[in-house]
Chains A and B, each alone.
Chain A
Amino acid sequence: MIRRRRRRQSPMIPVASMGDIAFLLIIFFMLVSNFVKQSNIEVTNPVSPDIDTIEPLQVTVILDKNGVIWLQGNVVPVDALEGAIGIILEGRKDKRVELKVDRNLAMDQVKPVRNALVATDARLVLVGDAE
């Protein structure tokens, strides 16, 4: 007696919903992403044991290792910093400004920047690395 075997059908995995899942993930990452704007700025954070983790802020001032002032990723002269910060903070509820300064910079280069920020109604948030 000859037995006829049924032809096995190749199994199919439905992938149609995979795109939906992937796009949901994309939307999630787009909403939580904070694009790196300062990758070209050379700055080494100071270290201190007395600091805690904080949320990244919207307004950032960076003083890099060469003493160049960066406001929101753009170079700004020290004389224009106070005015520029005032314009950015106008109408904002959150007046916090993140100040990131290179650890090896001497205070004579930091003081004009700090004083310009203190002169505005900004609340300074000094950024460093926790020890």
Chain B
Amino acid sequence: MTIKRKPKGCTEIDVSAFSDIAFLLIIFFILTTSLARIAGTTVDIPAGQPPKDQAKEEDKVKTINLSATQIRYGSEENAPALTMEELREKLILDDLRNKPTDMERMVIIECSDDVEYERYFQVLTAVSKAGGVVAILEQDEETQ
């Protein structure tokens, strides 16, 4: 007696659902990916105490006095109040970028506690863009 064997059909794995899963994963990644870049500015704020001889020269350093209502810029105490636009123009006129030393490029930002961060941010970014080196003036706890 001869036994007839059934011919074996070639086994195929169904991969049509494979691409569905893959495309679902793609949609997930598209939705969670943040391709948008952020905007900002790098500031190099000198850390630590200024040297003693620098203190003598501090009188010459430009200072921005920032309060909740006014911006004053200059090395004199009675510098006139400016708008943000006027400050930008003054910074450009001072040509800080082309000054030879850091000391000449330095701009001290004196900021009162009640100032909103956005105002401080705008001043600081304006100084950075003009090529200035930002320095922070902090009063010692004893003198406060």
Give the interface of A toward B (CB within 8 A): 15-16, 18-19, 22-23, 25-26, 29-30, 32-36, 46-48, 50-56, 96, 98, 101-108, 110-111, 114-115, 118-119, 123-130
Return the chain B residue nearest A105 by Cβ: B117
B111, CB-defined interface residue at 8 Å = yes
Instruction: Give me the interface of B with A, judged by CB distance under 8 Å.
Output: 15-16, 18-19, 22-23, 25-26, 29-30, 32-35, 37-45, 47, 88, 111-118, 120-122, 124-126, 128-129, 136, 138
A-side interface mostly: mixed
A70 → B minimal CB distance (Å): 15
Between A and B, how many residue pairs show CB distances below 8 Å? 144
Residues of B within 8 A of A25 (CB): 22, 26
Q: With A46-B118, A104-B116 as known contacts, state yes or no: A26 contacts B138, CB within 8 Å.
A: no
CB-CB nearest in chain A for B41:
A51
- A19 and B120 contacting across the interface, CB-CB below 8 Å: no
Known A106-B113, A118-B45; contact A52-B39, beta-carbon cutoff 8 A: yes
A126 to B109, alpha carbons, bound, how many Å? 16
B122 touches A106 (CB 8 A): no
7 A-B pairs with the lowest CB-CB distances in the bound complex, closest first: A22-B22, A29-B29, A108-B113, A46-B118, A103-B118, A18-B19, A50-B125
